[in-house]
Structure 1
Amino acid sequence: MIRRTLIAALLLAASALPTLAVNPDEVLADPALEARARALSAQLRCMVCQNQSIDDSNAELAKDLRVLVRERLTNGDSDQAVIDYVVSRYGEFVLLKPRFETKTLILWGAPVVLLLLGGTAMAFAARRRAGRVTGVALSDAEAKRLSALLSDRERG
């Protein structure tokens, strides 16, 4: 009974381990090239799944991209050449971690700029409001007039 429970627990734990989608027929014979291919595949987004790398995805397009990466590496391309080739075919979206360029600077910098602008606007608004609240005290004539208005209001 305990043995069956232990075996079931081990099988359950093993099923929770992450599975990689690389098929045995895709694996390169050269371990160094295979390691490079796996590293590159981990950087590329599956265009079907969109939140998985092509290394983790079982989609057909991901398999095609894995095969393409391995073909380019076996043809002698550098890692950067492979990435550039895939980006030229599928666009910047295929990269899981976008490149830091001028066009992405706007994307990354906009929240910071908006936060600074909002903070500055709030500081100016608070300063303006504080200036109104701490105004000059009422003169004697103004205080008497205010008292008269308030007493008339209470009576009537």
Structure 2
Amino acid sequence: MCISLLVVLALALIANSALAQAIDPLPFRDHAEELRFQHLTSELRCLVCQDENLADSNADFARDIRHKVFELMQQGKNDAQIKQYLVDRYSDFVLYDPPVNHRTWLLWFGPLLILIAGGIVVVNTIRKRSRIAAPIASAPTDNGDDW
């Protein structure tokens, strides 16, 4: 019973990994073109998933963009031209490593600005609490002798 369950589980895992590797088979001319395609699609972001690259995404939109990348490769476009085509169409967000420019400065420096703002809030809160606590600590204590 246990062995047959393990065999079924192993077969399911093998079938699943085969499907994951063959997301979208395309008719490449040679192995070099396939490697170029894989490298290029790994540098591009799936606009639906946002945390996956085009090479790993199963989304229909990612499949369409992969087909467009393949079509542009077949037309003789180089990687820079293909990336520029996608940037013109979908903005710099399609690139996993977008350039630093006036449109992407918040993307690059936003987390740092948020961290600095949070640090300023924490420092101000600590200073305010220490100013409030200082007069309380230095105030004379009442012994209760008035009773």
TM-score by length of 1: 0.65
The aligned runs of 1:1-156 (5 Å cut-off) are: 4-5=4-5, 7-17=7-17, 18-23=20-25, 26-95=26-95, 97-102=96-101, 103-135=103-135, 151=146
Preserved contact between residue 100 and residue 108 of structure 2 (Cα < 8 Å):
no
Encode CA deviations 1:104-144: one digit per residue, 9 max, x unaligned: 22233223223223323432443344345445956xxx88x
Preserved contact between residue 87 and residue 94 of structure 2 (Cα < 8 Å):
yes
C-alpha separation between the residues in 2 aligned to 1:66 and 1:16? 21
Task: Quote the RMSD (CA, aligned, Å).
Answer: 3.5
User: Between Structure 1 and Structure 2, whose CA radius of gyration is higher?
Assistant: 1
C-alpha separation between the residues in 2 aligned to 1:123 and 1:79? 47
Moved more, 64-73 or 30-39: 64-73
Kindly tell me the number of residue pairs found equivalent between the two proteins: 143
Preserved contact between residue 47 and residue 94 of structure 2 (Cα < 8 Å):
yes
- Structure 1, gaps ≥5 residues long: none
TM-score by length of 2: 0.68
C-alpha separation between the residues in 1 aligned to 2:60 and 2:129? 61
C-alpha separation between the residues in 1 aligned to 2:43 and 2:7? 36
Preserved contact between residue 20 and residue 57 of structure 1 (Cα < 8 Å):
no
